[in-house]
Structure 1
Amino acid sequence: MKKILVIDDDKDVRLLLDRFLKRQDYIVSTASSGKEGLAMLSEDVPDLILTDFKLGDINGGDLLKKVKEKHANLPVIIITGYSDIKVAINVMKNGAFDYVTKPLFPEEILNTIKKALASVDGDSDEGSEAKEPAVESEIPAKTPAKKKKRKTGNIFGTSQASKNLLNQIGLVAPTDFSVIIYGESGAGKEAVAREIHNKSGRSGKAFVAMDCGAISSELAGSELFGHEKGSFTGAITQKIGHFELANGGTLFLDEVVNLSYDVQVSLLRVVQERKLKRIGGNNEISIDVRIIVASNERLLAAAKKGKFREDLYYRFNEFEISVPALRHRDKDIMMFAEYMLDGVNEELNKDIAGFDREVVEVFKTYPWHGNIRELKNVVRRAALLCQSDEIKVDNLPYELVNHNHIHFADSENELEEARQATAPAAGQSTGEIMADLIKPTHHSRMPQDLKEAAKEAEAELIIRTLKEVNFNKSKAARVLKIDRKTLYNKIKYYNL
């Protein structure tokens, strides 16, 4: 079994990499600083080092030099949160095998590690190439016998909005149309792109994704089209670009509006001619790639502002799909949450059965402005904190439980008042706070007279209106045709 040394000053990253790599049958040791990592290296030399670029006591570049002084052939992979060409060039110049950028994707890390180890063993000639993107986003981990086998791949809900979305996917997938996918950040645009690919005639070929918002303009051209050795300072090897990697398959460009004007010009030429030249190269390479792009901004509007080429927009705009926000798919929330919990159970080696009733209530009423990505982060965090067989309200972030008091305050003063009003008393748990927040606003018994029934009806109307406007009290007052002061008085009166 191969040994990997992980060096990162982030405890959570160390923990997750340790568990993930052990599931892939590697022997893993971890260090929380560069000094500790070098000390461990002097005692036992691993087969590979995976280190963060920005450590508390030393940067990854300096650490790399120290490693290479004594172990020239030891492959080192750098984790960096910087999409800066200088970082990439420097670490490659100093002898790094490759680099991976944050956010981390399991398949990308695993592919890079395998290539690095194979280059040392002499089993592959790919070791000298720069990184290539992930072809799939999930790694089905080994499932313990006591747990049910987890479903992998993309899931879609059963709400009407999800059914409409699947109908559109089913309509365009068998064609070779270019597709523009619109949707809020975190709504699942890449999942839609993958589903289009999986249901197309190209499903047996590569699906290559590129986040245009996470790559600098200097690197974007190289990532898309590749480059030849020596074509620019730091180009010490030939690089195959995303278009070539996706040949015969699908190329997904997320947040395409972030590409620089120069790259858009080159991209238009490739889309029109279906041929490309690597940077610094002379040979034309024919490509057969289906292009799917995504944006949270309307591309035509961006074109009118001069941010995006209008002719490129018309090239892409053969079919449009809009991914609905999670708050408009409320019937799907728990299906997504349970699917995510299955994955986190594998990741953290836990066996959490599900969600407490109060958690379900919070999930269904929270507006999820971060959409599916936010839901996934909440589930992962809650599972990490959970010490029982069910996720409780105490495991949720305080802001999530109290969102209607905090997240939708109409002013800074109101925000501070909400914080103070909902701050936990000494010894009061989040669960007790939640119990107060969701307690009935009226008696469950039948009203005794017409006046009491009218009060209950008014309270219900106020609650329903507040939910419909995401607890924006100014909007609620306008909808109810009363002033804000009156609304506040009624909220207080009915103890909403």
Structure 2
Amino acid sequence: MNKKILIIDDDTSFSLMVSGYLAKNEMETTTAGSFYKAKSLIDKEYFDLILSDHRLPDGSGLDVLSYSKSKNPDIPVVLITAYSDIRVAVNAIKKGAYEYITKPVNATELLHIVQRALKSNSHSTSLSNDYIVSVGSQSKEMDEHIRLVAPTEVAVLIQGESGTGKEYVARRIHELSHHRQDPFVAVDCGALTTEIASSELFGHEKGSFTGAVDDKIGHFESVGKGTIFLDEVGNLSYNVQIKLLRAIQERRAHRVGSNKEFPIKARIIAASNDDLRQKAKEGGFREDLFHRLNEFTIHVPPLRNRSDELPTFINHFCNEAAKEFGKNIHGFSDEVMEVFQHYDWPGNLRELRNVVRRSVLLSKNEWIGIEAIPPEIAEPLSMQPSTLIKYTEAKEIAEKKLIEETLRKVKHNKSKAARLLGIDRKTLYNKLQKLNIDY
């Protein structure tokens, strides 16, 4: 049976072009020109994948993502966005989008992402060989912590910004653990509404609530002695946090609508891009649950703090993409590598991987030049050295002003300031010293 794709875009010609291309690849497509029309279709039909433009006449791609997740969290949503909206795309990934594609859309890139999304399974995925062991100082320390905690039964909390690779770290822990032969189940807590979270985690009995037409086995029951990875655990509602805490304490739980308990044997790994300790102190997360999940913490640093490791990641993603696209690529030119080193990578490793894959796909040469790099990243290269220095100075001035304003807003609470700025406390302190900010 052909896969059903919902394409949401108010640009009719673009929708028809994408629809025609996917139809040639044996996919059934339906189009909608607005968020309102898309909601109506999502209510009436099942789609294997949703492809949505970010800018819609009566909403946005984030609205589509939220609505789709509330109806069926398993359906992958791919966002189409302009380069200028890259931070929006990163936020969409944080909220549960499968992937994003930047305009102008390359047909081959689109097909690869769509096919990968259709093959994905948000509940259970096989072991990963994609964990990159780097020689960088921060990665070496992180890898030591992973190897130290993996053979134990200690609950691990992974902290890091969106796109830094927290799930890869969780998989690495699983692969090095005594649970490696059992399932690894990743649960996107950010995509779970209060209404469905208990059902997804613990299952339900037929007829226990409206829409429960069949019995359902929850993740904790299905994973058995494997590893359950609770991504963005800080987004769980207070009531679900209580149920999760009780299940962890008693190592037993029951399906919604049932009094029969089942044992919980899984290794639990949680992750958050928030400062969960601070969130617990402020009452946004149960402190007792935080301590249950945080028997051991692993911090995944943002890519902007790992400049010494950047070439390793670039080479890995380049080789991966060259193999996927069947291209003979040796790597990136020195000119491009210099540009990459000066870019701050707000989307972290996820953004880097997307940029490298797109560049490999577009390149016509064995060495990838500046012409294959997204304009927003390549732009600073066209500046003369003197202009580049002024640009850097201007960037630092703007950054200093932003940090100072943020500190004033939160009355110089460093944890709150770091969270609002999307960086960790250590990075904030480094910037305070570097920019000579009085704190």
- Normalized against structure 1, the TM-score is what? 0.62
Instruction: Give the match for residue 8 of structure 1.
Output: 7
Structure-1 separation of matches of 2:225 and 2:213: 28
Instruction: Give the match for residue 343 of structure 1.
Output: 320
* Residue 373 (structure 1) aligned with residue 367 (structure 2): no
> Which of 370, 373, 380 matches 1:396?
373
Instruction: Give the match for residue 276 of structure 1.
Output: 253
> Which of 290, 309, 314 matches 1:332?
309
Deviations 1:365-387 (A, max 9, x none): 22223211121122233234333
CA contact (8 A) 1:6 1:28 kept: no
Structure-2 separation of matches of 1:15 and 1:342: 28
Shift, 1:245, TM fit: 2.2
Change (3 A) 1:348 1:219: farther
Structure-1 separation of matches of 2:279 and 2:50: 33
Shift, 1:215, TM fit: 2.0
- Residue identity matched to 2:226: G
Instruction: Give the match for residue 71 of structure 2.
Output: 88
Structure with the bigger percentage of strand = 2
Q: Which has the higher contact order (CA 8 A, sep 6+)?
A: 2
Instruction: Give the match for residue 95 of structure 1.
Output: none
- Residue identity matched to 1:370: G
- Residue identity matched to 1:312: L
The alignment covers a number of residue pairs equal to: 359
Mapping for residues 147-296 of structure 1, pairs under 5 Å: 152-296=129-273
Structure-1 separation of matches of 2:199 and 2:68: 10
Instruction: Give the match for residue 126 of structure 2.
Output: 136
Structure-2 separation of matches of 1:364 and 1:255: 29
The SS at the match of 1:336 is helix
Deviations 1:378-413 (A, max 9, x none): 22332343333332212222222346xxxxxxxxxx
Change (3 A) 1:15 1:210: farther
The SS at the match of 1:8 is strand
* Residue 357 (structure 1) aligned with residue 334 (structure 2): yes
Structure-2 separation of matches of 1:309 and 1:207: 26
Change (3 A) 1:302 1:194: same
- Residue identity matched to 2:355: V
Shift, 1:83, TM fit: 4.2
Instruction: Give the match for residue 29 of structure 1.
Output: 26
CA contact (8 A) 2:8 2:38 kept: no
* Residue 77 (structure 1) aligned with residue 54 (structure 2): no
CA contact (8 A) 1:107 1:134 kept: no
Structure-2 separation of matches of 1:257 and 1:87: 18
Change (3 A) 1:353 1:86: closer
Identity %: 39
Shift, 1:238, TM fit: 1.6
> Quick check: which has more Rg, 1 or 2?
1
Deviations 1:105-143 (A, max 9, x none): 87773377xxxxxxxxxxxxxxxxxxx6132376xxxxx
Unaligned runs of 5+ in 1: 22-26, 35-52, 68-74, 92-97, 113-131, 139-151, 404-433, 442-458, 482-496
CA contact (8 A) 1:229 1:237 kept: yes
Structure-2 separation of matches of 1:241 and 1:133: 10
Instruction: Give the match for residue 109 of structure 1.
Output: 118
Change (3 A) 1:5 1:211: closer
Structure-2 separation of matches of 1:6 and 1:346: 27
Change (3 A) 1:246 1:223: same
- Residue identity matched to 1:110: K
CA contact (8 A) 1:33 1:56 kept: no
CA contact (8 A) 2:331 2:367 kept: yes
Shift, 1:351, TM fit: 3.7
Structure-2 separation of matches of 1:281 and 1:229: 10
Greater Cα offset, 468-477 or 263-272: 468-477
- Residue identity matched to 2:258: G
Change (3 A) 1:336 1:177: same
Change (3 A) 1:183 1:3: closer
Unaligned runs of 5+ in 2: 52-63, 79-96, 100-114, 404-430
Shift, 1:223, TM fit: 1.2
Structure-1 separation of matches of 2:258 and 2:432: 64
The SS at the match of 2:217 is coil
- Residue identity matched to 2:65: Y
Change (3 A) 1:369 1:88: closer
